């Protein structure tokens, strides 16, 4: 047995020890993990209060509204600038003295 272990080490193979849990240890471990998972889900979704997902959705909605409003303002400013440039080009001969 010892020669086989030395051969495995020389070849770079490591044996992974097998951990055997009794059913009650396994059940406790699973229940603990389920409890942590439930707490995280309640934190995300909310448990009678707005959760993080709801707050994030509200922020995204607000940002979308602001983006639409900003887009309208940008278009209005671009239209005013385009009108002003067109007016200057159209009245160029009248504005420049000969």
pLDDT at 44: 77
Task: Tell me the pTM.
Answer: 0.38
Q: What is the pLDDT of residues 52-63, one digit of tens each?
A: 778 888 899 998
Q: CA 16 to CA 32: how far, in whole Å? A: 25
Contact 56, 63 (CB under 8 A): no
- CA 45: distance to chain centroid? 15
Q: What is the pLDDT of residues 37-94, one digit of tens each?
A: 988 887 777 766 777 778 888 899 998 888 888 888 899 999 999 999 999 888 887 7
Q: CA 67 to CA 17: how far, in whole Å? A: 57
CB burial of residue 78 (10 Å; 0-12, 13-18, 19+)? exposed
């Amino acid at each position: 047995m010892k020669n086989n272990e030395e051969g495995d080490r020389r070849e770079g193979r490591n044996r992974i020890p097998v951990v055997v849990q009794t059913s009650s240890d396994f059940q406790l471990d699973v229940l603990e993990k389920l409890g942590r998972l439930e707490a995280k889900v309640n934190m995300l979704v909310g448990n009678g209060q707005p959760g993080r997902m709801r707050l994030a959705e509200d922020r995204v909605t607000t940002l979308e509204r602001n983006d639409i409003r900003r887009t309208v303002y940008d278009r209005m400013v671009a239209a005013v600038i385009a009108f002003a440039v067109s007016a200057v080009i159209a009245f160029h001969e009248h504005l420049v003295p000969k």
